[in-house]
A and B are shown apart, each in its own frame.
Chain A
């Protein structure tokens, strides 16, 4: 079993829809949770970072962490074609080692 499992996708949604991305994890030592966005042929770009259970909002993006269920989510409201990318969840246990999900490719149709 992988340490981090991410819904594989791909996901195709119309412009303006809410995008919901999910990851589960097995390592209870994970305490830092991140979401990265990666455009084709580019490096991963940090979107959201959190270390506690609950919600964190930044503009159209909301990151949700439920440590008791070992489950994290990213919601994108009012999705735009420019949100079309691969989204990667990542987490670490304060040991400098990020464990990544396999990524979900999202396409937002205009």
Chain B
């Protein structure tokens, strides 16, 4: 199946821990994104990579670090997790600067 996939789907962890979320797309797109969706369902962009180059870096705590090993993969590493990091994180990809296609999300709960 062609799609944007994320692992894990659910992540429950303690405050202070470090965790990573992985994303892969097999759509052949050049650009990938990370979004955060809060409890009120508002989607906000965090980062974007185009062909492994960081092109969007919104105001996000530097505990969050994206990494793109190749244009089909974009990972998100979070250090020193805080309660406020609890949210759903979505990966997306796009062939250009228009329409974006989203993954199923990773529900992060920080206890």
Contacts and interface: CB of A to CB of B under 8 A. Distances in A.
Given A43-B90, A88-B43, A102-B40, A94 B105 contact: no
B7 interface: no
Contacts of A100: 42-44
Contacts, number: 60
* Chain B interface size range: 20 to 34
A21 interface: no
Interface stretch (A12-20, A44-52, A54-62, A72-80): A44-52
Contacts of A103: 41-42
A96 B99 CA distance: 9
A46 B4 CA distance: 13
Interface residues of A, number: 24
Given A49-B99, A90-B100, A96-B97, 14 more contacts: A32-B97, A36-B102, A42-B104, A43-B4, A92-B97, A92-B98, A94-B98, A96-B31, A96-B33, A96-B55, A98-B33, A98-B45, A102-B42, A103-B41
Contact of A94 (B41, B42, B97): B97
B50 interface: yes
B56 interface: yes
Interface of B: 4, 31, 33, 40-45, 48, 50, 55-56, 90, 94, 97-105, 107
Nearest to B58: A97
